Amino acid sequence: MSDTVSLGEVAAQLPMLEIACNRCDRRGRLYTERLLAKHRPGLPMPALQRIVAADCPRMQADKIYDIGGVYFPGLLTLPQCRVTA
């Protein structure tokens, strides 16, 4: 059994996924139905973090302390979806 939560598990509980960065003001929401159409249901949420933040300049930072911290605030309220950045 894996401790990693998948996109399919999240989509079964949330119609919209909130995304935020703990290093900058970037925030947004994505429909989980659209995410499922584009990605497979078994996609681990940490992999989705990297995908949605791929265009962020902080994800390509030269200094480790400057790297962005994408997280999903709405998952913190779901009992079986404890995903951290």
82 within a domain of the structure (yes/no): no
Does the pLDDT of residue 23 top 60, yes or no?
A: yes
Query: pLDDT by residue (tens digit) across 31-83?
Result: 999 999 999 999 999 899 888 887 777 666 555 555 557 889 888 777 665 44
What pLDDT sits at residue 1?
46
Domain range enclosing 34: 7-77
Does the pLDDT of residue 15 top 90, yes or no?
A: yes
Domain count, the chain: 1
2 within a domain of the structure (yes/no): no
What pLDDT sits at residue 54?
79
Q: Which residues contact 19 (CB under 8 A, 6 or more apart)?
A: 27, 28, 29, 30, 52, 70, 71, 72
The 10 Å Cβ neighbour count of residue 70 is 23
